[in-house]
Amino acid sequence: MLETIVALATPPLRSALAIVRFSGEDCFNVVSRFFSKDLTSYTKNSIIHGFIKDNDEVVDEVVLLLYKSPRSFTGEDSIEIITHGSPLIFNKVIKLALENGARMATPGEYSNRAYMNGKLDLIQAESINDLINAETDESKKISMNALLGETSKLIYPLKQEIGDLLSNIEANIDYSEYTDIIDLDNEKIVEICKVIVQKIDNLIKNGYKGKIIKDGINVAIIGKPNVGKSSLLNALVGENKAIVTDIKGTTRDIVEGKINLNGIILNLYDTAGIRESDDYIESIGINKSKNILNKADLVIALFDNENFDEEDKEILKLTQDKLTIRVFNKSDLNNYSNDKLYISALNKDISKLKNEILKVLGISKENYDNPSLANERDIGLLISCQNELNKVIELSSTTSIDLLVEHIKSAYLKILSITGEDYDFDMAKEIFSRFCLGK
């Protein structure tokens, strides 16, 4: 029997009300030991008024929400006690719970139990944290789609198609005497794999875009000294965060700012101008700039005119492998060409840059509205699945079918892991669920 767990579900602060939450087969018993009514006879979800009691002392007058398994979040018997929001009260309730057979829940344990009891798949379970941490409406929507199970539906077709392929091949090998099985040769297998690889490709692309909407991106502003990086950060965040002077080497430490651009959180990093420097402190700053550059999802490489000198060329070299927007600042001073992206950080004339950021991220209305597999873990598993199928395609002409099947099986398991169904995978069950073999 799983232990009864207890935790405070609301912030540990003084407030009007607080919620202490319990889950576990024995939880009606546990709570009855310090509640004014016996809860063990309840067989339906109920709202109950009563008193928390420490022997004869009344600790609080409360409302208790009682959930009878399986009709609860975790799928187990569960209780939520709504107490008055005094730390003295809710801490006392937790203490009584611990003294009467409950233990503190570990982080995520309620969701974990919900997953173990089949109430949520892994995509849904992961979305709860994202939902709580969402900073924009757009991000919240991505997580809500996941919680409602819409995101999980994205992988159903893959599961079906790879599962069918796998079962067909296995059935060909193991049950070749049955006539209702379609004959599959390597060529046909490759054809099917190619179609699936393409579908996974789309899911990965949309997943990355969803991830940008959900988590935001890190944007580094780099350039040689005095091109206007700090002025640009200030213009973007709309306040004077970074010190601006015409003295080279003014910015030494990283200055951070955060903005919401069309629902996408940009974590902006203004960096020390990159140049050869003898100044000890400045050179530490320059190294920090290079580290930030490595971590950035997007780089704004800033220049103050189109005649690149050696220092500018160094910047170009550093950004070679990065998603980079080249921006020319000080449009108010330059005769500029229309085919380049010019801004004036000083005059806060930066709308063209904002549009360009949205353009290079390639995010459209669909990405905001539709579900996407927007978690690192999910995208990673999609990539591994795709790698397995690509191996099938690559090896098909030189490898026998029973070796190819191993890669297809791995691909299938990766897909199952996304929703967390891989733990009870059984090949024979898979085959029998698709065919009427041995009837």
Ligand X SMILES: Nc1nc2c(ncn2[C@@H]2O[C@H](COP(=O)(O)OP(=O)(O)O)[C@@H](O)[C@H]2O)c(=O)[nH]1
Output the smallest distance, CB 246 to Mg ion, in A.
Answer: 11
Output the smallest distance, CB 250 to Mg ion, in A.
Answer: 5
Query: Of the two residues 244 and 392, which places its CB atom closer to ligand X in the complex?
Result: 244
Residue 100 near residue 30 (C-beta atoms within 8 A): yes
**Cβ-Cβ contacts under 8 Å for 313 (sequence gap 6 or more):** none
Residue 4 three-state SS: strand
DSSP character string of 376-390: HHHHHHHHHHHHHHH
Distance from C-alpha of 6 to C-alpha of 18, rounded to nearest angstrom: 13
Query: Of the two residues 330 and 407, which places its CB atom closer to ligand X in the complex?
Result: 330
- Piece in contact with Mg ion (CB under 5 A), picked from 57-65, 251-259, 314-322, 413-421: 251-259
111 binds ligand X (CB under 6 A): no
HSE, CB side, 13 Å, CA atoms: give it for residue 386.
16
227 binds ligand X (CB under 6 A): yes
- Piece in contact with ligand X (CB under 6 A), picked from 75-83, 93-101, 149-157, 238-246: 238-246
Binds ligand X by CB under 6 A, chosen from 244, 268, 292, 416: 244
246 binds ligand X (CB under 6 A): yes
Binds ligand X by CB under 6 A, chosen from 24, 273, 285, 371: 273
Output the smallest distance, CB 218 to ligand X, in A.
Answer: 18
Site string for Mg ion, 206-245 (x = CB under 5 A): -----------------------xx---------------
Output the smallest distance, CB 283 to Mg ion, in A.
Answer: 15
Distance from C-alpha of 225 to C-alpha of 240, rounded to nearest angstrom: 18
CA 156 to chain centre: 20
Name 17's bridge partners.
84
74 binds ligand X (CB under 6 A): no
Distance from C-alpha of 261 to C-alpha of 237, rounded to nearest angstrom: 10
228 binds ligand X (CB under 6 A): yes
229 binds ligand X (CB under 6 A): yes
Output the smallest distance, CB 24 to Mg ion, in A.
Answer: 56
Output the smallest distance, CB 204 to ligand X, in A.
Answer: 36
Residue 211 near residue 130 (C-beta atoms within 8 A): no
113 binds ligand X (CB under 6 A): no
The site that binds Mg ion (CB under 5 A) totals a number of residues, namely: 3
230 binds ligand X (CB under 6 A): yes
Distance from C-alpha of 176 to C-alpha of 174, rounded to nearest angstrom: 6
Q: Which residue is nearest to Mg ion (CB)?
A: 251
Footprint of ligand X on residues 318-357 (CB under 6 A)? Answer: 329-330, 332-333, 344-346
Distance from C-alpha of 44 to C-alpha of 407, rounded to nearest angstrom: 48
HSE, CB side, 13 Å, CA atoms: give it for residue 287.
6
271 binds Mg ion (CB under 5 A): no
Query: Of the two residues 168 and 251, which places its CB atom closer to ligand X in the complex?
Result: 251
258-289 burial, b at 16+ Cβ within 10 Å, e below that, comes to ebebebbbbbbbbbbbbbebeeeebbebbebb
Residue from 200, 199, 201, 190 nearest 393 by CA: 190
Chain residues binding ligand X by CB under 6 A are: 223, 225-231, 244-246, 250-251, 273, 329-330, 332-333, 344-346
